Amino acid sequence: MIGRLNHLAIAVPDLEAAADQYRNALGAKVGEQQEEPDHGVTVVFIELPNTKIELLYPLGVNSPITSFLEKNPAGGMHHVCYEVDDIIQARDHLVETGARVLGNGEPKIGAHGKPVLFLHPKDFNGCLVELEQV
Ligand code: CO
């Protein structure tokens, strides 16, 4: 059911510094900062030949990244994002298998303007999973 790895997301304590590091030390193609108020994050996408890296920084008072950075002050791996063809079909299948969908269970529009859902990390070996319909 899942397709390509769309991106890996890393929560970072300093977005400018992290973007500079990917640009200068790692020599990667780094995009512009984008604010995602619906998700409580500011993001920068790094384009690699085979996937993307999403740098995440808190936006607003209820950002889910704030508590993550309190537990992981140096930053850390936050989620993996897999592509699916049909997010509703994927969700219904996952719910049947016992997986929990975060939030109200309905897709939201993600950073690429496409519908996304998040699956409970405790149901996926401690890893928060994002699904994106492509
Ligand atoms: Co993501």
Torsion angle defined by CA atoms of residues 27, 131, 113 and 70, in that order, rounded to the nearest 10 degrees: -60
User: Whole-prediction pTM value?
Assistant: 0.94
Domain layout of the chain by residue ranges: 5-133
Residues surrounding ion ligand 1 at CB below 5 Å: 9, 54, 81, 130
pLDDT the model gives residue 62: 87
Q: Which amino acid is at 5?
A: L
In CATH terms, the fold of domain 5-133 is 2,3-Dihydroxybiphenyl 1,2-Dioxygenase; domain 1 (3.10.180)
| 47 labelled catalytic | no
Model confidence over 6-64: pLDDT tens digits?
999 999 999 999 999 999 999 999 999 999 998 899 999 999 999 999 999 999 988 99
Beta bridge mates, 29: 47
Q: pLDDT tier at 5 (50, 70, 90 boundaries)? A: very high
pLDDT of the residue at 111:
83
Catalytic hit among 16, 35, 70, 130: 130
Cα radius of gyration (the chain): 15
Residue 90, phi then psi, degrees to nearest 5: -60, -45
CA of 54 to the centre of ligand 1 (A): 6
Dist. CA 86 → ligand 1 center (Å): 17
pLDDT single digits (tens) 88-128? 999 999 999 999 999 999 999 988 899 999 999 999 999 99
| Cα separation, 20 vs 81, whole angstroms | 23
What is the per-residue pLDDT across 69-89, written as a single tens digit (0 to 9) for each? 999 999 999 999 999 999 999
